[in-house]
Amino acid sequence: MNSKEFVAKIVADNQALFQASQHNVRAYFDSKPAQEELVEHFIGRMVNERMNMVELANKVANAPADMDPKELQLLSKQALDEANHFRMVKDVVEYMNGGPIDVKAAVEHELEHNRGIKGAKLLSKYECDTDEIAMALYQLIAEGRAARNWSMLSSCVEDTFVSNTYAKIARDEKFHSKMGRRKLLQLCDTPEKQARVLEIANQMRLDLFEINCANSVELADTRAMIEQAYGKTTPLQAEIA
């Protein structure tokens, strides 16, 4: 299988994760959470954006001297996008809160108590700072899932400010996912690399589903959808949840 065919398969195999995650997100917002709960929910989203920003900025700062300038430019753009998302979700939190929040306290609390249910945690778990394949998969899968989730969120919430904010974030995440696809097309040129991609991709999808359930709701049919597509979760995934 050439790299184009292989990456097309990876993209197709992501769809069960994306669809299950979207269903969970819709169910969460359809349940009409109380305002106080929503503030806490979006604080979690805000801190995840900040974690992404920090991890990607570190990757840019530590980029090897021989990194392709185009790739470095794209990675820098992604880090800036995440910084913008951090600001944008902070604006959502304060809008819903009816006033300013203590951002430092919020960040410290989330990192101490809820780090395990943050998608950005996977950047360090999969050593994306040094592993090109893992980084490309994170962009393709995690950012692709985020694009679908935030698009769903945008369509679920009735408030125009929140909806428009997340529609913009969803568009950025879709671009980040395309960055991962672009890199995988370059990397997946041998059976050995393709086998490794398959192994990491399946594990990452299971991790992301557990994180999605922890941050929204878990529906019986979405769990069944995931297990049919990728197999049952293991203690490693339960650890993240």
d(CA 145, CA 149): 6
Residue 91, token pair as written in the block: 């604006």
Residue type, 77: K
Task: Give the tens place of pLDDT for each residue, 6-35.
Answer: 999 999 999 999 999 999 999 999 999 999
d(CA 11, CA 67): 26
Domain 3-240 belongs to what topology?
Ferritin (1.20.1260)
**For residues 162-187, average pLDDT:** 97
Q: pLDDT value at position 167?
A: 98
The residue extents of the domains of the chain are: 3-240
Task: Give the tens place of pLDDT for each residue, 185-204.
Answer: 999 999 999 999 999 999 99
d(CA 132, CA 140): 12
How many angstroms separate the Cα of 32 from the Cα of each of 25, 27, 28, 29? 12, 9, 7, 5
pLDDT interval class at 234 (50, 70, 90):
low
**Res 236 pLDDT > 50:** no
First to last CA, the chain: 35
d(CA 27, CA 216): 8
Q: What is the mean pLDDT of the chain?
A: 94
Alpha helices in 98-190 (DSSP H): 103-113, 121-125, 132-137, 143-156, 160-187
Distance of CA 216 to the CA centre of its chain: 14
Residue 131 buriedness (CB in 10 A; 0-12 / 13-18 / 19+): middle
**Res 239 pLDDT > 60:** no
**Res 227 pLDDT > 80:** yes
Q: pLDDT value at position 43?
A: 98
Q: pLDDT value at position 241?
A: 41
**For residues 101-127, average pLDDT:** 95
Q: What percent of the chain has pLDDT over 90?
A: 93
Q: What percent of the chain has pLDDT over 70?
A: 96
Q: Could you tell me which residue, 1 or 12, shows the higher pLDDT? A: 12
Q: pLDDT value at position 47?
A: 98
Q: pLDDT value at position 42?
A: 98
Residue 117, token pair as written in the block: 């249910």
**Res 240 pLDDT > 70:** no
Is-contact 195 100, C-beta < 8 A? no
> Which range (10-24, 71-85, 180-194, 224-238) has the least confidence?
224-238
d(CA 57, CA 76): 7
Q: pLDDT value at position 207?
A: 95
pLDDT interval class at 232 (50, 70, 90):
confident
Residue 215, token pair as written in the block: 């941050």
Q: pLDDT value at position 237?
A: 47
